[in-house]
């Protein structure tokens, strides 16, 4: 693919604008040689104004989403895209969030421009485990773990019970919950079904991925091993469930 097109697909401008970047000698290789549109060079060696390119097509981004940010390209700001390079929403294919976290929820959020992977992780048939830490308005009653694990818990207004979920108490008013589906406001509604209410909610893990020491508002690109482990977990989790 021509360099101008690669850059346009990454959101560096329209095709005309990226051709202009090349014509004005702002596109170089890592060693500083000025590149021409027809040069056959890979994503890794291309620089624009001396800077490496945004993540390559097919990348997966792990963002530590702060409270207050919305998972949308067009809602009222602040948007999660405000934390990322301004080119991300302009990419083709677009760098989309993998599912959503509520504005009031913080934590691990993935984004990718790989539509097939996004679908694998978010379709209703996807049962990739996701762990949330909730702080609660009232003390835990003691039976939440059993009720969540039962596979019989019905959320208000729903006809199908939740799949079994795991609860680990972390304190009198704090617990980690691991779920393997993604219903609307699921964790908040699970605690509401127990007569409690969630004060803060943070997603700490998705499959084998964890937030680790990534600060709020920061992001990183998954490496090839992390991405293939994620794909394998998603495929396995899909196979195991009806
Ligand atoms: N459960 C919720 O209640 N909110 C989220 O954002 C994710 C899971």
pLDDT tens, residue by residue, 123-147: 988 899 999 999 999 999 999 999 9
Does residue 242 have a pLDDT over 60?
no
- The DSSP 8-state label assigned to residue 197 in this structure reads -
Residues 195, 170: Cα–Cα separation, whole Å:
19
Does residue 39 have a pLDDT over 80?
yes
Report the atom number in ligand 1 closest to the C-alpha of 179. 8
Answer whether 185 contacts ligand 1 (Cβ < 6 A).
Answer: yes
Q: Which pLDDT value is given to residue 74?
A: 85
Based on the residue annotation, tell me whether 102 is a catalytic residue of this protein.
yes
Average pLDDT over residues 99-118: 97
CATH number of 60-124+209-240: 3.30.70.580
Ligand 1 mean position to 132 CA, how many Å? Answer: 8
Residues 126, 128: Cα–Cα separation, whole Å:
6
Ligand 1 mean position to 187 CA, how many Å? Answer: 5
Residues 25, 110: Cα–Cα separation, whole Å:
34
Residues 100, 71: Cα–Cα separation, whole Å:
6
Q: Which pLDDT value is given to residue 89?
A: 87
Average pLDDT over residues 187-193: 98
CB atoms within 10 A of CB 140: 19
**Whole-model pTM?**
0.95
Q: Match domain 130-206 to its CATH number in 3.30.70.1560, 3.40.50.720, 3.30.420.40, 3.40.980.10.
A: 3.30.70.1560
Pocket test for ligand 1, best of 156, 185, 206 (most atoms within 8 A of CB): 185
Q: Match domain 3-52 to its CATH number in 3.40.50.620, 3.40.50.300, 3.40.1030.10, 3.10.290.10.
A: 3.10.290.10
Q: Which pLDDT value is given to residue 238?
A: 78
Nearest CA to ligand 1 atom 2: 185
Catalytic residue among 31, 102, 113, 236: 102
Answer whether 91 contacts ligand 1 (Cβ < 6 A).
Answer: no
């Amino acid at each position: 693919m021509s360099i101008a097109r690669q850059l346009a697909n990454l959101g560096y401008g329209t095709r005309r604008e990226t051709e202009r970047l090349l014509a004005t000698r702002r596109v170089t290789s890592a060693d500083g040689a000025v590149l021409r549109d027809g040069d056959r060079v890979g994503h890794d060696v291309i620089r624009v104004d001396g800077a490496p390119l945004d993540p390559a097509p097919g990348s997966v981004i792990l963002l530590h989403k702060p409270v207050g940010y919305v998972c949308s390209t067009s809602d009222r700001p602040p948007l999660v895209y405000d934390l990322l390079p301004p080119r991300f929403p302009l990419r083709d294919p677009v760098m989309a969030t993998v599912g959503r976290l509520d504005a009031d929820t913080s934590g691990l959020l993935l984004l990718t421009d790989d539509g097939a992977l996004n679908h694998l992780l978010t379709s209703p048939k996807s049962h990739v485990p996701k762990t949330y830490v909730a702080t609660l308005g009232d003390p835990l009653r003691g039976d939440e773990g059993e009720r969540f694990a039962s596979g019989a818990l019905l959320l208000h207004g729903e006809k199908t019970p939740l799949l079994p979920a795991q609860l680990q108490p972390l304190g009198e008013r704090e617990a980690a919950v691991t779920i393997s589906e993604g219903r609307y406001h699921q964790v908040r509604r699970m605690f509401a079904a127990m007569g409690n209410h969630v004060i803060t909610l943070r997603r700490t893990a998705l499959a084998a991925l964890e937030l680790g020491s990534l600060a709020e508002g920061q992001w990183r690109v998954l490496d090839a091993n992390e991405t293939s482990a994620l794909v394998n977990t998603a495929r396995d989790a899909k196979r195991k469930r009806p």
